[in-house]
Amino acid sequence: MQKHLSRPFSNPPKPYLSYFFSHSVSKTTYDPPFSPISKSPKPKGPKPKLPDTTPNPNPPPPLKSDLPFDFRHSYSETDPNLEPIGFREPKRFSPFGPGKLDREWTGTSAPARDEVNGCRVEEERRRVLGDPLTEVEVGGLVEKYRHSDCARQINLGKNGVTHNMLDDIYNHWKRAEAVRIKCLGVPTLDMDNVCFHLEDKSGGKIIYRHINVLILYRGRNYDPKNRPVIPLMLWRPYAPIYPKLVKNVADGLTFEETKEMRNRGLHSPALMKLTRNGVYVNVVARVREAFETEEVVRLDCTHVGTSDCKRIGVKLRDLVPCVPILFKDEQIILWRGKRDQELNSDISDANEKSLDA
């Protein structure tokens, strides 16, 4: 009994608890080896003023351009005679900006308000061009601007001759007599069309043409101070919706014949392999030559893109001419059409000429 009473009421603290309490609170002040240096506060300057978002009660008047043609996003890659069946954005959204142009946007173009006097426009163009260049002058300009390291160069891509490109041409003509234009992609299928729109819309003259390289001359009497007003497009408008390019059943064929033509074209060797943003100046001639012996032709357009494949098909349909019957996996299948109809039309034309004679 005495042994139990002599025993203490609580156990003494264990060694590890005493060590924890003795080292938990440091007796020295906190002094790290690299103490941060207090930075002096920067003097507070005046706060920048926020832009005024209130509408201007007196907005600037809309720009007026005397150019005698309808404004379009692309002049060489769109057909003004083809009417769209729908639009992807409302017509009230003009790409020139709200109230920036005195022309009304119709969804595809901004038509000129005044009637165009063709004779007067042609006379003004002849006056600016002046006397024709001599062979020596042409040779000097070509030698100066035809090289790939020319500083006065404009790249023409799949959109062809665009509206804003006209402003780039006039900017180069401020300090240079000519500008070098390098064409790539779908527009190179029809270089005659590109040259026509460059001369027609800019007023210059093509003095050199080699494959896909052009040199556009401004004219002897060109004055940069009297350059026309070209309102810029602030964004690219959405392309309208056009009728379907490939029909389920081609004209002149039945459903089974169309299906057979498509299968034959897919399993036939490719006539050509087109590259993305390549030069297609010889494609039309190659397709015409192939149609002399073949009824169906396949073009391998791997990595070209679906959009460019359809653009190529549309141009070949009009230039060759032919009938696109399938676009699948970046492959274009072209059918030459009914030869009997062509022969009958040729015979009827020959008979009419003989009767007239």
Q: What is the pLDDT of residues 76-111, one digit of tens each?
A: 999 988 889 999 999 888 999 988 888 999 999 999
Model confidence band, residue 16 (pLDDT cutoffs 50, 70, 90)? low
208 and 320 co-located in one domain: no
Model confidence band, residue 44 (pLDDT cutoffs 50, 70, 90)? confident
Q: What is the pLDDT of residues 186-196, one digit of tens each?
A: 999 999 999 99
Residue % of the chain over a pLDDT of 90? 63
Q: Residue 179: inside a domain, yes or no? A: yes
β-sheet bridge partners, residue 208 = 215
Q: Residue 188: inside a domain, yes or no? A: yes
Tell me how far apart the alpha carbons of residues 89 and 166 are, in angstroms, rounded to a whole number: 25
- Phi, psi (rounded to 5 degrees) for 13: -60, 140
Tell me how far apart the alpha carbons of residues 101 and 85 are, in angstroms, rounded to a whole number: 26
Q: What is the pLDDT of residues 209-233, one digit of tens each?
A: 999 999 999 999 999 999 998 999 9
**Among 118-122, 181-185, 321-325, which stretch is predicted with the lowest mean pLDDT?**
118-122
pTM of the predicted model over 0.85: no
181 and 126 co-located in one domain: yes
128 and 261 co-located in one domain: no
Residue with tokens 């003494």: 12
β-sheet bridge partners, residue 185 = 279
Domain of 128: which CATH number? 3.30.110.60
Residue type, 42: K
Domain that holds residue 295: 255-340
227 and 317 co-located in one domain: no
Q: Are strands 153-156 and 178-183 parallel, antiparallel or unpaired?
A: parallel
Task: Report how many domains make up the chain.
Answer: 2
Q: Residue 200: inside a domain, yes or no? A: yes
Q: Residue 32: inside a domain, yes or no? A: no
Average pLDDT for the chain: 85
Q: Write the Ramachandran bin of 252: left for phi over 0, alpha for psi from -120 to 50, otherwise beta.
A: left
